[in-house]
Structures are given as C-alpha cells and as structure tokens.
Amino acid sequence: MSDILVSEQSAPGADGSGRPSGRLLEVEDLRVEFRTRDGVAKVINGVTYHVEAGETLAVLGESGSGKSVTAQTIMGILDTPPGFVTNGQVRFHGKDMLKMSAEERRRIRGEGIAMIFQDSLSALNPVFTVGFQIAEQFRIRRGMSRADAKKRAVEMLDQVKIPNAKGRYSNYPHQFSGGMRQRAMIAMSLALDPEVLIADEPTTALDVTVQAQIMDLLGELQRERQMGMILITHDLGVVADVADRIAVMYAGRIVEEADVFELYRKPAHPYTLGLLNSIPRMDERGQELRTIKGLPPNLMNIPPGCPFNPRCPMAQPVCREKVPPLLQVGAGRASACHFAEELVNRD
Amino acid sequence: MSDPSTASIVSTPRAEQPTETVSPVGAPQGDRKEKPRGLLGDAWLDLRRKPLFWISALFILLFLLMAAFPQLFTSGDAVNGSLDRSLGKPSGDAWFGYDFQGRDVYARVIYGARASIVVSVLSVLGTLLVGGAMGVIAGYRGGWVDAVLSRVADVFFGLPFVLGAIVILTTFNGSGTSNSQWKIMGLVTVSLIVLSWPVVMRLMRSSVLSTKEADYIVAARALGAGTGRIVLKHLLPNCLAPLLVYGTIMVGSFIGAEATLSFLGVGLKSPVVSWGIMISESQSFIRVSPSLLFFPSLFLVLAVLSFVMLGEAVREALDPKLR
C-alpha cells in the first residue's frame, strides 16, 4: 500500500498569471535505497513533488532527510551502487527520465535541468580558469568559437554581478572569494539556460551577509528567466523570502507541503511546528532555545507507523501503528499527520 | 614529491612575478590577451618566467642534439682506438682522455648519449602511456575492470626487475643472436616498459580514485558532460602532476637500468656505445684512471638532473595554485 497520496489538486495558490503553465518537473512516489554492507537504508520512501515554470519550491529538511538524494536522483548523478531507485518516476515535460537512455538524460542535463552545488570551491575544477569552465559549455554544447564563447561567458559573469567580469574571466577558482565562487557556479549552471534549476543548499558554505546576496541573486535570475527552481535547504530563514511553496521532508518522506505563507502562519504537521518553534526569537532572550527532542530515525530501521512518532509531542497510539498518508488539508496544502485537521483548525 | 614546500628551488622568484595574479585584476590585462588560453597556454606563460626551466631545457636540448647528430660535437672515433694510447690522460687531443682500449672518451661520451637517451626517454613515454591508460581505466571504471587490471599489475609488480629483464632479454637477445643496435634498444625499451608500468598504473589509479569523487567531476556530469570529456578534460589534468614528477625521475633511473642490463651482458653490447656500458667498463680501472668513470657519470647526472628539474618546473606550471 502506498503511504503517500498527494491529490492532483495540491498545486499551490502561487500566482501563475502570465507564466508558461504546466508541470515542468514531476517526481512521483520516488523510492531510493542504499544497499550497504550493514544493511539496506531506505533513504527515500515515496517522495512526490513537482515544480512549475517560474516557481520556486523549497525542499526543507534536516541532514539525512533525503532532500539531496532526491535531487541527485533527478539529475541522474546518484552513485549506483550503493544507491538504487526502487520505484517511482521523475518526469520532465511529462517524460519519465528514469526510463530514458543515458545519452538522452545527458542531453537534458545542463540545458533542461541544471544544478548548483553547495561547496563551490570543490565544485569548480581547480586547474581551469573560471571563465574557461563557463565558456567550455558554450563551445561544446552550442558549438561556438573560442572567442564567441568567451564573450558569452563574460556576459554570464556579468549577469551574476561579478565586478570586472572581463578581468575575472581568467582567474582561477582559488582566486575568488566564497561568494564570488558561488556566483560563478550559478553562472555556470545557468549558461545553457536551463528550464529547471536545482540549488542544493547554495548558501550553506557562505557567511550570512553573502547568503542574503546570493539568495537575492538567485531569486532575481529565476524571475527573469521564468525558471522552475528547487531550492534545497535546511535553513528556514533562507526559504521565507524566495520560495513560493515549501515541501518539508522527514526520514525520506514529504510530511508537509504548503504555500510559504500558510506554512509559516499555521503549520499542519508537528515536525514543521517544531522546526518553526526552534527558530531563536528576540522576545525570548535569555531563555533556553527550544528544540525538537530526540534524533532522526535510523534509516535502516525506521520505526513502524509515523516515522516522527518517537519525537512527536502529540503522538498517540495510532501514530505507532499506522503510517499517516500525505492528505490534503485545506486549499493547496497537504500534511502527513493523523491530526493534521486539528493542527490546522486550532485557535 | 608533490608537496609544494619541497619545490622552492624551482619556484618563480616572487619579485619577478607581476602582481597580475592578485585580485582585482585590472581591465587592461583582459584586453591584452584577446584570445582565451587553455591550461597549456597558461602553463607556458608561467614556464617562460622560470630561469630553471630554461637551464634544464637548454641542457635537454643539448643532449637531444647530441643523440641526433653526434658529429656536430666531435670528429673523434667512438668505436675504434689504438692500444698504444690505452688509459691516456686527458689532453688537448682527447679532452677526457683515452680508455683501456685506447678509444677517445670524449667521443664515446658524445656518441653514448644516443643509446642512453633514446632508450630511457622512449621507455618513460611508453611506461607513462601504458601505465597511465591502465590506471585511468581501472580507477574510473572501478568494479571488476579495476579488480582484473590491478591483479594483472600485481603479477608484473611481483617480478623482480633484473630477473624479469634477464628472462625477456636472454630469450630475444641471447648470446649468438645478431640483433642490430636499434633492435636491441627496442628490446631493452620494451622490457623496461613491461616491468615498470604497474608502478605508474597504481599511481594513476589512486590519483583517479581520489579525483573522480570530487564535486567538480559530479558537477561536470550534472551539467551534461560526456564520459570522454570528463576523463580527458576534467580528470586527467588533475591527475597529471604526480605522473609528471614520477616520469622525470624515471628518466634517470631508466638510464641507470639500461646501464645495469648492459653490465649484465643482456642489454646493449660493445661495440654499441652507451653511458651505461662506459660506466660498467670503467669499474676495473677506477684506481688507475678515475676519469673513465667520472665523465660518463657526469653526463648521466647532468641528463638526469635536467629531466628532474624540467619535470618540477612543468608540474609547478600546471598547478594554478603555485602560480
């Protein structure tokens, strides 16, 4: 029996006026497991989400919740072995990418779907200049001459607001600062004008002021290009400004999906509630920070019932027996909690 | 070996290095070079500023010329001598003196460059090619391909070099065979390659294994680069440095190995001239006439040193962080 049932109408109320409509990228009931020597870790247990053109979906979750593995599966860069996709579809323009040939998938990468990595220093090749690495794509994928490719690469660097882009073209990654490197990484990912951009914790390695700049830049470029963006993060603060919709992941499942304002205003899952409560607040100075007690479950041995039940303040006997399906609660939002209705309707 | 701190002797002097690598780079610099350069272009720009590169390159050029056109350097006869000049001291006629057979040592050293350099350089190139290719395949493909190649390498690795070379060379170049000079050189080269590629293969394999997990390889894949492009453009340049260093050291040790085989009587044989043969012949007269050992050894050391220094310079030039 499938534990996750997202109704087709769970699309959000994010304004879609004037945008090219349609679901660009859909992930449906995706299951991935890591077969290791110690046993099988069920890393993703039926994830379903989608992103539309011009929309930003934030995937929120703590380490090990499966958010990055989902992204790797979409990109086709999951290490097999140990990772195996056991079920589900990843549809791009309605076509299941998991059934495509390696060559077909390769063509989609970069031009259809591109990805920004967390650590831009290690994601840029240290032996080539930053400009060369961007220009390389124009030369190979667009068949441009070296000079034309350079011109386009400088334009890209300019678009991500790298000062003196022309002079910076021939610098090496280690000569860039962290923020600049992430900008260069963004320029590289956007070079081929992808329709969907997956940003895997793009600001985690940066300090707070630079974080804000990078998020602003990403939001701006996303609006300009009408891209669909999947923003993977564990930082609730980062999400609020940029995202249209949020999907909260826990132990390889989506536990809540909602419009960003709805989610912040009234979370429909105790896990989301716990996350929001754990944000430090100025009016609670001097008090102990609130946390979610306990640890995320061992993915090789997920507890029966709701995976969150051992840590849930609202847990009832039913939570230890039945896995709550992801069901619609109110307009454009879904929650995988037996008591979602009560949470939404309280006050 | 690849520790940057050990490489200070060949580093570019800081004073000579213009501040252009320091950010922010001025726009005029961007204008000056309109055509974008690749990795090798940048390396060349860097090499041009290194004095030690020029010195070692000059020496290597000299040795290569010696190997190709020995007549340019001497008009003496390297093969025939007259016994009345046996063990003659260095003089105006013969700068390095005469050996036991009365042959001109200077002429012999010059003519000996060919066999020594050709054998060692060809063996190094062959070893790097074979070992490097095997290493990349084993490291990148992994799984059973890696297992098979690694075990094959282990088998070759287990063969002691001298024993293996003796077996190969006595089979194809035993006493009684009348192979030409070039054929013997080819055989020596092949036996050196066959017995040394596993070292390079292991070096390359470990290098590839650590590099292929790097984020920029994953990123290249995520941006749609094909396997060939990933291996050639992104993997190889990052794995090349240890190989280059090892290669230059190998040039020296292969000149020595060629000498060892000649000494054992299975490699090159008189009347072919090589530094190895000269060194092994000189050992009987080391007390009487040390110059017989000194001059071929001097050339050998110079050649080895030049290759090592060139290798260091090239490695530094290829590493952007040291620029």
Q: Return the residue in A69, A77, A124, A128 with the most chain B beta carbons within 10 A, the one to mutate for interface testing.
A: A128
**Superfamily assignment of A1-9+20-112+198-221+228-280+288-347 in CATH?**
P-loop containing nucleotide triphosphate hydrolases (3.40.50.300)
**Cα-Cα-Cα-Cα dihedral sign, residues B25, B28, B29, B35:** positive
Name the closest residue on chain B to residue A104, using Cα atoms. Answer: B224
Tokens standing for residue A93 = 């323009």
Tokens standing for residue A268 = 């429909």
Distance from CA of A134 to the nearest CA of B (A): 11
Name the closest residue on chain A to residue B216, using Cα atoms. Answer: A123
List residues of chain B with CB under 8 Å from any CB of chain A. Answer: 21, 23-27, 29-31, 33-39, 42, 214-216, 218-226, 229, 233-234, 237-238, 318-321, 323
Q: Environment class of residue B272 by beta-carbon count within 10 Å: exposed (0-12), middle (13-18) or buried (19+)?
A: buried
Mean pLDDT, 10 residues at a time, chain B of 323 residues: 41 40 39 51 78 88 86 75 73 73 82 86 92 90 89 88 85 71 84 90 90 83 81 84 82 80 77 81 80 85 85 78 65
Q: Return the residue in B216, B230, B321 with the most chain A beta carbons within 10 A, the one to mutate for interface testing.
A: B216
| Peptide bond connecting B271 to the previous residue in cis, omega within 30 degrees of 0 | yes
A with B: how many residue pairs have Cβ under 8 Å apart? 111
Do the beta carbons of residue B248 and residue B311 sit within 8 Å?
yes
What is the H or E stretch that residue B271 is in? none
Of A115, A123, A149, the CB nearest to B216: A123
Do the beta carbons of residue B312 and residue B319 sit within 8 Å?
no
Of B29, B34, B214, the CB nearest to A167: B29
Of A119, A128, A175, the CB nearest to B39: A128
Cα-trace Rg, chain B: 23
Do B36 and A77 count as a contact with CB atoms less than 8 A apart? no
Predicted confidence at residue B68, as pLDDT, reads 84
Identify all chain B residues contacting A194, using CB atoms and an 8 Å cutoff: none
Of A108, A132, A163, the CB nearest to B36: A132
Name the closest residue on chain A to residue B236, using Cα atoms. Answer: A127
Q: Which residues contact B231 (CB under 8 A, 6 or more apart)?
A: B136, B140
- What's this model's pTM, rounded to 2 decimal places? 0.71
Do A146 and B35 count as a contact with CB atoms less than 8 A apart? yes
Predicted confidence at residue A54, as pLDDT, reads 84
Predicted confidence at residue B32, as pLDDT, reads 42
Do A147 and B35 count as a contact with CB atoms less than 8 A apart? yes
Taking the C-alpha atoms of residue A49 and residue A27, their distance in angstroms, rounded to an integer, is: 5
CA angle in degrees (0–180, nearest 5) for A256-A30-A93: 95
Name the closest residue on chain A to residue B318, using Cα atoms. Answer: A127
Do B25 and A167 count as a contact with CB atoms less than 8 A apart? yes
Q: Which residues contact B262 (CB under 8 A, 6 or more apart)?
A: B268, B269, B274, B276, B277, B280
Do A146 and B26 count as a contact with CB atoms less than 8 A apart? no
Q: Which structural domains are found in chain B, ordered by start?
A: 4-322 (1.10.3720.10)
ipTM value greater than 0.90 = no
What is the H or E stretch that residue A300 is in? none
Do the beta carbons of residue A125 and residue B216 sit within 8 Å?
yes
Tokens standing for residue B184 = 């013997």
Do A117 and B219 count as a contact with CB atoms less than 8 A apart? yes
Identify all chain A residues contacting B320, using CB atoms and an 8 Å cutoff: 126-127, 129, 172, 174
Of B25, B219, B321, the CB nearest to A174: B321
Can you say how many angstroms the Cα of residue A48 is from the centroid of all Cα atoms in its chain?
13
Taking the C-alpha atoms of residue B108 and residue B85, their distance in angstroms, rounded to an integer, is: 15
Predicted confidence at residue B126, as pLDDT, reads 94
Do A114 and B222 count as a contact with CB atoms less than 8 A apart? yes
Q: Return the residue in A109, A170, A183 with the most chain B beta carbons within 10 A, the one to mutate for interface testing.
A: A170
Distance from CA of A237 to the nearest CA of B (A): 26
Identify all chain A residues contacting B40, using CB atoms and an 8 Å cutoff: none
Predicted confidence at residue B229, as pLDDT, reads 84
Do A125 and B220 count as a contact with CB atoms less than 8 A apart? yes
Amino acid in position B102 = G
Identify all chain B residues contacting A114, using CB atoms and an 8 Å cutoff: 222-223
Predicted confidence at residue B130, as pLDDT, reads 93
Do the beta carbons of residue A53 and residue A20 sit within 8 Å?
yes
Helix (H, G, I), strand (E, B) or coil at A250: strand
Give phi and psi for B203, each to the nearest 5: -60, -50
Do A174 and B320 count as a contact with CB atoms less than 8 A apart? yes
User: % helix / strand / coil in chain B, to the nearest 5?
Assistant: 75, 0, 25
Domain boundaries, chain A: 1-9+20-112+198-221+228-280+288-347, 122-191
Identify all chain A residues contacting B39, using CB atoms and an 8 Å cutoff: 127-128
CA nearest to A131, candidates A199, A197, A183: A183
Per-residue pLDDT of chain A (347 residues; tens, 9 = 90+): 444 444 444 344 333 333 344 678 888 888 888 888 888 888 888 888 888 888 888 888 888 888 888 888 888 888 877 888 888 888 888 888 888 888 888 888 888 888 888 877 788 888 888 888 888 888 888 888 888 888 888 888 888 888 888 888 888 888 888 888 888 888 888 888 888 889 888 887 778 788 888 888 888 888 888 888 898 888 777 777 788 888 999 888 888 888 888 888 888 888 888 888 888 777 777 777 888 887 888 888 888 888 888 888 887 888 888 888 888 887 778 888 888 777 777 76
Taking the C-alpha atoms of residue B56 and residue A220, their distance in angstroms, rounded to an integer, is: 54
Taking the C-alpha atoms of residue B185 and residue B133, their distance in angstroms, rounded to an integer, is: 24
